[in-house]
Amino acid sequence: MTALKNDLLLRALRGEQVERPPVWMMRQAGRYLPDYIKLREKYDFFTRCQTPELATEITLQPIDQVGVDAAIIFSDILVIPQAMGVEVLMEEGKGPLLPKTIKTKQDIDALNTANAEDHLKYVMDALALTKKELNGRVPLIGFAGAPWTLLCYMIEGKGSKTWDKAKQFAYTQPELAHQLLQKITDITIDYLKAQVKAGADTVQVFDSWAGSLSPADFKAFAQPYLLQISDAVKDDAPVILFPKGTWYALKDLSQSSASGIGIDWSIEPKLARELTNNAITIQGNFDPAKLLAPIPQIKQWVKEMIDGFGTQRYIANLGHGITPNVPVDHAKAFVEAVKSYKA
């Protein structure tokens, strides 16, 4: 194992003293980078995910070009439904399509939850290769989609603004919903443990659609499975939970086994600190749309954000993934502003 030259992220997750907050950006390996677009024109989405050399190249691009403090493996949350036997198509510019949705108990019974490591060997190969290529420059983040978010896609069959079908399924057939959520949880735990074994220094669980639920429903259909994953993986590597749009769950989640919690821009830093009682490292919460503002303005906003959170137990990040229309020099300015922060 090569010693890490920059372990800011891991120290922040452990609650250790850091000289400045670490910074990375969700979706940092992707559509805003010209070099990524060149690869996208040559190879379709799942070819990019499933070819370890391509996934590694894409993962490394923002380290070299934007200067972030961590790499996050280039992959997709929908590789888990694929490993479970569900067909997933990716249409450029349109997002995912799952032609055969889950409707019945038979559909759920038929889902595979064994051998995640074998089915997703290409992710492990990409992690191992990336780890080697990074040569200790920065930590490597692995990730998975959260059970509720994956249920949303598996029931709905595609993206949605409201997730009506998924919610209807959960509310009218709660037993089946919990059976599906548990199956997804089981394979996800195996998958994340395998990622750590392959080289991930920490893992993040993306619950992108958790905010579609009320606080009571989040507690029923999302939180228990996030906690199960965190409890199962915490001894292997630090776990970051990112249930977007659920500021109301911060108090509960701050008392969990997770090391970090991602938040979006719908909550003030001060309130996030109060709700978590400074018991957990907070990650976030810059609105990616603000990266389109003039660079001096971005720098000012970054300073205000870090002033709000403080420099300790904090990871500077966006409140959601970077959008394709962000100029690379604006992304760089965001990272630079964090690195040069002075209180």
Pick from 43, 116, 108, 118: nearest CA to 74: 43
Told to judge if 76 belongs to the known catalytic residues of this protein, a careful annotator would answer yes
32 annotated to bind ligand: no
In one-letter notation, the amino acid at residue 291 is L
In the set 32, 36, 153, 314, the catalytic residue is: 153
In one-letter notation, the amino acid at residue 76 is D
Strand pairing partners for 285? 317
pLDDT of residue 9: 98
Q: Where are the domains of the chain?
A: 8-339
Q: How far apart are CA 5 and CA 79, in angstroms?
A: 31
**Which residues are CB-contacts of 53 (< 8 A; sequence separation ≥ 6)?**
129
**Domain 8-339 is of which CATH architecture?**
Alpha-Beta Barrel (3.20)
Q: Mind listing the pLDDT tens digit of every residue in the chain (343 residues)?
A: 689 999 999 999 999 999 999 999 999 999 999 999 999 999 999 999 999 999 999 999 999 999 999 999 999 999 999 999 999 999 877 899 999 999 999 999 999 999 999 999 999 999 999 999 999 999 999 999 999 999 999 999 999 999 999 999 999 999 999 999 999 999 999 999 999 999 999 999 999 999 999 999 999 999 999 999 999 999 999 999 999 999 999 999 999 999 999 999 999 999 999 999 999 999 999 999 999 999 999 999 999 999 999 999 999 999 999 999 999 999 999 999 999 999 8
289 annotated to bind ligand: no
Told to judge if 153 belongs to the known catalytic residues of this protein, a careful annotator would answer yes
Told to judge if 40 belongs to the known catalytic residues of this protein, a careful annotator would answer yes
pLDDT of residue 94: 86
**Which residues are CB-contacts of 79 (< 8 A; sequence separation ≥ 6)?**
49, 120, 123
| Contact in structure between 313 and 281 (CB atoms under 8 Å) | yes
In the set 31, 35, 137, 248, the catalytic residue is: 31
In the set 69, 76, 190, 201, the catalytic residue is: 76
pLDDT of residue 1: 67
pLDDT of residue 2: 80
Q: Radius of gyration over alpha carbons of the chain, in Å?
A: 19
Pick from 182, 187, 177: nearest CA to 80: 187
Token representation of residue 19: 């000289």
Told to judge if 31 belongs to the known catalytic residues of this protein, a careful annotator would answer yes
pLDDT of residue 219: 98
pLDDT of residue 93: 78
